[in-house]
């Protein structure tokens, strides 16, 4: 279901003819994006459909960072090519403390990220390192022209955004508040989110690290 169809469905189920067509479309899109933001934040680390792999991140001698192609929501795994183990995540402060207590050289063991910058430590200053990094990108807002292929959820679950959008719509104090419809939409929204998470956990066949370094 593309976004324009979601907007039409929300107008039919929730907004009706209260406002002009342009106004109601803008309102529906606003609430769809609220639902999208909530759903994305709860599923980004387990939605393998959305993962990105930068498979050849090459460092420069004497520098302990590489740059990802996109801003990550979460960096999930970092593999140093040619070495036996993935890098271990540490927060910024943990890594700085480790560097302070262990000012020695060696092959990379730890990483963190600040935006697109992926920092690693320790290093051998003359060495060039290549990494393969898997991460979930930051979410992209939906617009009226977003096709269903660009919505980062399985097709069978995209209708869930309409349920979430309607839930936020019926919470609104500016003319749409409806406790009965809000309660119905909330039940569908929460139940749908649980079903989607169960689907992701089942399709992944494994647990995904939730480490995030903002």
Residue 204 has pLDDT above 70, yes or no: no
So what's the pLDDT on residue 181? Answer: 81
| 104-108 LR contacts (CB < 8 Å, sep 24+) | 107/80, 107/83, 108/64, 108/80, 108/83
Classified as helix, coil or strand, 108 is: coil
Both tokens assigned to 3: 């976004």
CB-based contacts of 149: which residues, under 8 Å, 6+ apart?
Answer: none
pLDDT tens digits, 121-147: 999 999 999 999 999 999 999 999 999
What is the model's pTM?
Answer: 0.84
At 66 the three-state DSSP class reads strand
Task: Name the residue with tokens 């107008």.
Answer: 11
Chain center to CA of 69: 15
Q: What percent of the chain has pLDDT over 70?
A: 89
Beta strand pairing call for 110-114 and 88-89: parallel
pLDDT confidence of residue 208: 46
How far, in Å, CA of 28 to CA of 5, rounded?
A: 11
What confidence score (pLDDT) does residue 23 get? 79
Q: Are strands 110-114 and 117-121 parallel, antiparallel or unpaired?
A: antiparallel
pLDDT number for residue 123: 95
């Amino acid at each position: 279901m593309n976004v324009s169809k979601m907007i039409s469905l929300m107008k039919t189920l929730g907004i009706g003819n209260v406002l002009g067509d342009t106004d109601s479309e803008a309102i529906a899109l606003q609430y769809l994006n609220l639902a999208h933001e909530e759903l994305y934040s709860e599923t980004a680390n387990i939605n393998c459909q959305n993962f990105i792999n930068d498979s050849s991140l090459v460092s420069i001698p004497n520098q302990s960072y590489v740059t990802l192609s996109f801003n990550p929501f979460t960096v999930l795994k970092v593999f140093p090519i040619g070495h036996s183990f993935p890098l271990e995540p540490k927060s910024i402060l943990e890594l700085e403390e480790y560097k302070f207590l262990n000012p020695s050289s060696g092959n990379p063991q730890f990483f963190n990220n600040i935006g697109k910058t992926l920092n690693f430590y320790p290093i051998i200053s003359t060495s060039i390192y290549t990494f393969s990094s898997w991460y979930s990108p930051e979410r992209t807002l939906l617009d009226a022209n977003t096709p269903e292929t660009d919505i980062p959820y399985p097709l069978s679950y995209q209708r869930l955004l309409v349920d979430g959008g309607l839930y936020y719509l019926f919470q609104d104090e500016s003319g749409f508040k409806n406790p009965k419809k809000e309660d119905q939409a909330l039940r569908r929204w929460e139940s749908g989110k649980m079903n989607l998470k169960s689907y992701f956990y089942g399709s992944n066949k494994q647990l995904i690290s939730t480490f995030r370094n903002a």
